Chains A and B, each alone.
Chain A
Amino acid sequence: MRQGYCKYMLLCLLLSCSQQIQSREASHASVKDLQYGEMLFYYYQQDYFNSIVRLEIAREQGRLPNHKDEAELMLGGLVLSYGMRNTARDIFQNLLDDDQHDLSVHNRAWLYLAKISYQRGDLPGASNAIVKINGEMTPATRTATANLHSLLLIEKGRNAAAIDILKNTRSGKHWAPYLKYNLGIAQIRNGELQAGLDTLESVSKTGGDTPAQRLLRDKANLALGYSHLEQGETTASSQALEQVLIAGPLSNKALLGAGWANAEAGAYAQALIPWTELASRNVTDPAVQEALIAVPYAMAKMELYGQAIQHYQESITALNDEKRQLDISINAIQNGELLKQLQQSDPGTGFGWIQQLDLDSPVLHYQTELMASHGFQEAVKNYRDLLFLRNNLDNWAHSVTTYDAMLTARQSRYQSQLPAAQQALDSNAFATLQQRKAALADTIASIESSENSMWQKKQQLSEIETLLQQTGKAIGKLQQADTVTPAGFSAFNQEISHRKTDIKQLQTRASRITQAQEILLEQLAVDELVAQQARIEHYIIQARLALAQIYDSSLNNPAKRIIQ
């Protein structure tokens, strides 16, 4: 039974590792078209919406001659990151249907399709896609392919095949420890315990001081600790768990495990050290709640019954307080507090909403636990995207009205100037000038004698020719404007009017979907907190039972030291 839990925990750790490889996969390309770089400017800020818009406009305007294939793959990746799996799948499928693309484009499209299927939980679909990847690959594609392929095999229980892939994949220095970590987990699941432990041991000794590298070491030590514990090797387990950073995100789990390693060895006094530390931490974490009853349990084992009773009672009080706190939070959620918090955070940022929350809000008390649930996290992402879309539509509704007014003003200015221009066009000024020019030319031909008058006439002729040229150009422009502009106005007017209708319809739909999403979010949050209450209730029952057992046995055996 224990083996099963350990394996499940190891799988959880494995999955979280693979996500890191996926998220770090994107490499930066050298920019050969300005507009491609513009898309990257938004992408690197995780502003997927604007990067998609910029990329699509550049594509439509034909401004990506040097990034054609790359742009399609990028677009697919962007819409996938923006949660549009259906569109992403269509883009990659189109790339695959086009024989003109080279193998590297097809490989990357298959990899993305495999990821999409994997995210949807369609494991056969993901497996079908991943085996299509072949031939020469970039290191990033090779590593991501090996990673996803090994995960799929592990989930199917084909651990030996996963090990084979992981052992035979050459990856860059940066990714090697991540693949090695997955290898260690696969080996343990395949029953190659010693090999798995050795592999994890080597991962736990990898260098580097970035948060990601520290986290990987902690994960390796945690997996090592729990694997040793599963085998009853308590000393080795303690040693590994003690290596986990005391202030790191995995330290609560490590402290809990370290206590159990000692308790399994019968060293209850030693077990009390990590458990007491853990019991003093934030009680919203389930590991802390467990420590609250693990501490008196160890005391009872040491026959310190008086202290055990006192700690059980204190723990019951603390857990009851926590249950009440959960009631307050549930109430607050049902009164719209969660939505208020989410609405207050800036939807434009696309990230970091937790930092913007009101610290005094009862909902915030449980944000870590809520966000740990995948379903809730996805629902929050969608809700924030909806807030962004509504904001975007409202802004456009405003801008379009401005453009409408601007166009009307331009149109009326044009109309007011038109009669004068038309008059000039209609009048026979040009013809008069032409007649004068012809008359002058005749005069010049007839008076060859007087040089002075000849020079004056030629001067007049030259002036008339310049005037004729200028008037001709002006008439040309006016005639062009006369034919182009009214048509241009009407095209703009039509376009604006269509877009106004689109905006209105989208606003109505966005508002309806947002309301449904709000109901869903509140439901998910309340369900999660109710589940936590049920778990706390379970601990309280355990603590009461243990208390009753101590009282019972002291009644039957008065020699037991109830009072210390």
Chain B
Amino acid sequence: MKYSLLLLFRKLFLSSSIYLLAYAGTTAADDRTAATAASLDEEIQTLKNEVLALNRSLFMLEEELLFPASTQVAVFVSMDVGNYFPLESVQLKIDDKVVSNYLYTRREVEALHRGGVQRFYMGNLKSGEHELIAIFTGTGPNGRDYRRGADFIVNKRPGARFVELKIVDNESSKQPDFSIKVWE
């Protein structure tokens, strides 16, 4: 019976990993499988590299084709802390025309909170002044619905224009502020 006890005791510890290792990785067939896995992994790494390069070229081609630098406008959304505003959606109007509506997932809001910046809209505008209106919606304190707007005049000049819509915590009012910044 002591023998049985030892056997069981052995298995108690082996159960986590050693016992499985004893089965795996010892036979010639297992070695072959491991070699196949390693060589396939190398091939997959090379494939990933090439697909990434292809995506890079195609995104740049797409941008040149659809949004030439002379008329390009890109609008980004970001958050600075954002504790006072649980963002749900953003609507963007340019010259009184809705150009984009976006509903955020929990993971996207989390990514914005941590410092990520979302490319929200890409479009073309003629040179001159244009009015941008951004409407942010979310659930505020006590589950109250929040709907806040911010507007801004963008002077489109030749060359791509980047506009950042930023949600900033206002510590003194304990309220969110919404600002628009044009990057040169």
Task: Enumerate chain A interface residues (CB-CB to B < 8 A).
Answer: 1-2, 5-6, 8-9, 12, 28-31, 34, 36-38, 40-45, 49, 52-53, 56-57, 60-61, 82-87, 226, 253, 256-257, 260, 263, 286-287, 290, 293-294, 297, 300-301, 373, 375, 378-379, 382, 385-386, 389, 392-393, 396, 399-400, 403, 406-407, 492, 495-496, 499, 502-503, 506, 509-510, 513, 516-517, 520, 523-524, 527-528, 531, 534-535, 542, 545-546, 549
Contacts and interface: CB of A to CB of B under 8 A. Distances in A.
A37 B115 contact: yes
B15 A40 contact: no
Contacts of A407: 65
A85 to B, nearest CB: 7
Contacts of B51: 389, 392-393, 506, 510
Contact of A492 (B7, B61, B110): B61
B56 A385 contact: no
A427 to B, nearest CB: 29
A60 B64 CA distance: 14
Given A41-B118, A509-B47, A520-B37, A297 B112 contact: no
Contact of A34 (B7, B30, B49, B117): B117
B44 A34 contact: no
Given A43-B111, A53-B59, A495-B57, 10 more contacts: A6-B13, A40-B115, A41-B119, A44-B110, A44-B116, A56-B52, A83-B45, A86-B45, A382-B40, A524-B37
Nearest to A263: B5
Nearest to B112: A41
Nearest to A491: B64
9 contacts: A5-B14, A31-B115, A34-B76, A84-B45, A84-B49, A290-B15, A378-B37, A499-B61, A513-B47
Contacts of A6: 13
Contacts of A386: 44, 47
A29 B41 contact: no
A176 B117 CA distance: 32
Contacts of B139: none
Contacts of A516: 36, 40
B117 A382 contact: no
B26 to A, nearest CB: 11
Given A297-B8, A502-B54, A2 B13 contact: yes
B168 to A, nearest CB: 13
Contacts of A378: 37, 41
Interface string B75-97: 01010000000000000000000
B153 interface: no
Contacts of A297: 4-5, 8
Contacts of B183: 34
Contacts of B17: 8-9, 12
Contact of B59 (A57, A260, A379, A527): A57
Nearest to A521: B37
Given A82-B48, A84-B45, A31 B78 contact: yes
B131 interface: no
Contact of B13 (A8, A502, A513, A545): A8
Contacts of A31: 78, 115, 117
A294 B8 contact: yes
Interface residues of B, number: 63
A406 B49 contact: no
A256 B15 contact: yes
B103 interface: no
B56 A375 contact: no
B177 interface: no
A83 B115 contact: no
Interface in B107-125: 107-108, 110-112, 114-119
A386 B40 CA distance: 11
A72 to B, nearest CB: 16
A375 B34 CA distance: 8
Contacts of A49: 52, 55
B100 interface: no
Contact of A392 (B40, B49, B55): B55
B24 A531 contact: yes
Contacts of B31: none
A334 B177 CA distance: 58
Residue of B43, B45, B108, B119 ringed by the most chain A CB atoms within 10 A: B45
B62 A399 contact: yes
B10 A84 contact: no
B28 interface: no
The 6 nearest A-B residue pairs measured at CB:
A37-B117, A41-B116, A5-B13, A44-B111, A531-B23, A40-B116
Interface in B1-32: 1, 4-5, 7-20, 23-24, 30
Contacts of B13: 2, 5-6, 8-9, 226
Contact of A373 (B12, B16, B24): B24
Interface string B59-78: 11110110000000000101
Contacts of A12: 16-17
Contacts of B151: none
Contacts of A549: 1, 4
Nearest to A40: B116
A432 to B, nearest CB: 31
B165 to A, nearest CB: 11
Contacts of A43: 111, 116
Nearest to A52: B52
A551 to B, nearest CB: 14
Contacts of A499: 54, 57-58, 61
A125 B15 CA distance: 32
